[in-house]
Amino acid sequence: MSEAATLPKTARDAAIQHFDVIVVGAGISGVGAAYHLATQRPQTSFTVLEALEGFGGTWLTHTYPGVRSDSDLYTFGYRFKPWVGPPIATAAEILAYMGEVIAENDLAERIRYRRRISAANWSSQDKLWTLEVTGPDGVERYTTNFLWMCQGYYRHAVGYTPEWPGMETYKGKVVHPQTWPADLDYKGKRVVVIGSGATAATLAPAIAGDSAQVTLLQRSPTYFVPGRNENELADTLRQLQIDETWIHEIVRRKALFDQHEFTRRSVEEPEVVTAELLEGVKAFLGPDYDIAKHFTPRYRPWRQRIAFVPDGDLFQGVASGKVHVVTDEIERFTETGLLLKSGEILEADIIVTATGFDLSVLGDIAFAVDGQPLDFSKTVTYRGMMFTGLPNLIWVFGYFRASWTLRADMIGDFVCRLLKHMDDKGARQVEVALRPEDTDMPIGDWIDAEDFNPNYLLRNMHLLPRAGTKPEWRHTQDYWTEKEVFPAIDLDDPAFRYS
């Protein structure tokens, strides 16, 4: 369907454009959703609405030096598109890969950029979602039978920076990696990077060569997996001139097998896994470095995400003296840097707050069902993708212990199967609801903090849906079980209500 040549400036009078399915977001999940619809449901009309000026999501908005994946691309890449580069890829390489998916499958005309959704209203009478959208020429209105939410789970526009005492007195620059200024000059400057996660570990070695001094300041350490940025199995198969499609599938399966084993061992033998991870760090830093203080976390492996450090670049930077690690807490900002609780003073021209992000629940869109504003935190999740009281909507929320895209692909199959099932039943509405046997099921938080507890989830848990104790009423984070469960979901289970 072509866009109207001119669009009114008010939502009430805007021309309405209708699609069977609307995909929200053109990041890794949204482009994958478009592929699955185009290939599995060619008769379905759909469009992708993207708030930014281009596709890519995270890989478009994150422009800080060295930005790269922290998952291997053989599993972070789509199952249907072979990855032929190094396992850990730069943002530019990932964008190029996604661009090939769009070009090879004629998806460009399906994506509408600079479309920000402000409101989404479901009508049970009409069996339709109505969207109010701000486009490049004013307000647009869309209706759709089905919403596929692929907008991610955090705010792209601004990152999370804690409020420390004295920040207003600091005379230097405070920068968050998520909004890295294109003209930031750090050459010859003293830079303090606050944080201990994948972003901090990527950024510190990337700027160390040009900066006068880089200090990585962390409140507590994080686990990392250092290793060469290559896949020996893939390289061997290429030497044997095996087809890239076969290589992708074989290497993908091997990577997933290894990840499953690593996850299992992290729970069953955490002390052994911890020792192995720390040996990897020691191989770069030597026996005299205080690994116990700076690189030994307080928690068992996989209670927070573990990032791969390609070629050990962070540890090479530490070993060379270009990156200095300080494990301490901030007492306050000063005019020229930071005063730590130990009494140590860190002088800095630039302070980078690699301190995480804020959750964005359903894209900060004002949702309503039959005129009643939606409180997402009052819903209960069905397998982390559907929600009680929220008809004709799927949300893509990937994995923490495996690549995000694995779940995006599985949900793509599920949505296409669900849409076909609705067609076969002549149903225009589907929603999930607790069954009679679920009446006494305990209801708790979206994620069990004893199992996985990054700060961005803990401080925003009140915004997320609730979860039950039965596996179908929670996001289990277990790809290796879900890959068998998802294709076998009974769409006529009483949890699904059709009308």
The per-type count for the chain, helices as H runs and strands as E runs, is 13, 25
In this structure, is residue 11 part of a structural domain? no
Q: Determine the Cα–Cα distance for residues 112 and 49; give it in Å rounded to an integer.
A: 5
* Predicted local confidence at residue 463, as pLDDT: 82
Which token pair is 365?
């869109």
Q: Does residue 89 fall inside a structural domain?
A: yes
Work out the angle between the directed axes of helices 404-425 and 28-40 (0-180°, nearest 10): 40
Beta-bridge partner residues of 497: 431
Neighbours of 134 (CB within 10 A): 15
7: pLDDT strictly greater than 50: no
Quick check: 227 pLDDT over 70? yes
Q: Do 230 and 118 share a structural domain? A: no
Decide if 327 contacts 118 (C-beta within 8 A).
no
What tens digit of pLDDT does each residue of 341-352 get? 999 999 999 999
**161 inside domain:** no
Per-residue pLDDT of 100-153, as tens digits, reads: 999 999 999 999 999 999 999 999 999 999 999 999 999 999 999 999 999 988
- The reply to whether 5 falls in a domain is no
Whether residue 191 is found in the same domain as residue 248: yes
In a domain, 2, yes or no: no
Class of residue 27 by CB neighbours under 10 A (exposed 0-12, middle 13-18, buried 19+): buried
CA dist., res. 427 & res. 54, Å (int): 35
pLDDT of residue 88: 94
Q: What is the pLDDT of residues 59-114, one digit of tens each?
A: 999 999 999 998 899 999 999 999 999 999 999 999 999 999 999 999 999 999 99
Closest C-alpha among 206, 162, 137, 127 to residue 370: 127
Tokens of 331: 């007492």
Per the CB < 8 A criterion, the answer to whether 120 and 111 are in contact is no
Question: What distance in Å separates the CA atoms of residue 155 and residue 358, rounded to the nearest whole number?
Answer: 6
Mean pLDDT of the 148-174 span:
91
Range of the domain at 42: 16-156+359-498
Overall average pLDDT of the 330-355 stretch: 97
Number of separate domains in the chain: 2
Q: What whole-number distance in Å separates Cα of residue 383 and Cα of residue 496?
A: 12
Report d(CA 283, CA 261) in Å as an integer: 23
Q: Are residues 34 and 144 in the same domain?
A: yes
Any idea what DSSP says for residue 349? S
- Specify whether 226 is located in the same domain as 303: yes
Q: Is the pLDDT of residue 449 over 80?
A: no
Partners of 140 in the β-ladder: 133
By three-state DSSP, how is residue 85 classified? coil
Query: Are residues 195 and 281 part of one domain?
Result: yes
Residues 102 and 173 in one domain: no
- Residue 284: inside a domain, yes or no? yes
Same domain, 210 and 253: yes
**8-state DSSP, 375:** -
User: Within 240-298, where are the H helices?
Assistant: 244-268, 270-285, 291-294
**End-of-domain residue from the set 305, 325, 353:** 353
User: Maximum CA pair distance of the chain?
Assistant: 71
How much of the chain, in percent, has pLDDT values that exceed 70? 96
- Predicted confidence (pLDDT) at residue 448 exceeds the cutoff of 90: no
CATH code at 271? 3.50.50.60
Report the DSSP pairing between strands 467-468 and 443-444: antiparallel
Is beta strand 213-218 parallel, antiparallel or unpaired with respect to 190-194?
A: parallel
Q: Taking all residues of the chain, what is their mean pLDDT, rounded to a whole number?
A: 93
pLDDT at position 452 is 66
Q: List pLDDT tens digits, range 278-290.
A: 999 999 999 999 9
Per-residue model confidence (pLDDT) at position 6: 36
Going by pLDDT thresholds of 50, 70 and 90, the confidence category of residue 26 is very high
- Residue 1 inside a domain? The answer is no
**Beta carbons within 8 Å of 490's beta carbon, 6+ residues apart:** none
Do 149 and 188 fall into the same domain? Answer: no
**Per-position b or e across 54-69, b if 16+ CB within 10 A of its CB:** bbbbbbbbbebbbbbb
Is 7 inside any structural domain? no
Question: What is the per-residue DSSP string for 429-475?
Answer: -EEE---GGGTT--EE-SS-TTT---HHHHTTGGGSPBEESSGGGS-
pLDDT by residue (tens digit) across 453-493?
A: 667 677 778 888 999 999 999 998 889 999 999 999 999 99
* pTM for this entry: 0.93
Domain end call among 353, 384, 400: 353
Residue 299 sits in the same domain as residue 419: no
What is the distance between the terminal CA atoms of the chain, rounded to a whole angstrom? Answer: 27
**pLDDT computed for residue 14 by the predictor:** 61
Q: Is residue 107 located within the same domain as residue 198?
A: no
Q: 224 and 298: one domain?
A: yes
Note whether 489 and 430 are within 8 A (CB).
Answer: no
Last residue of a domain, one of 353, 374, 401: 353
Residues 184 and 103 in one domain: no
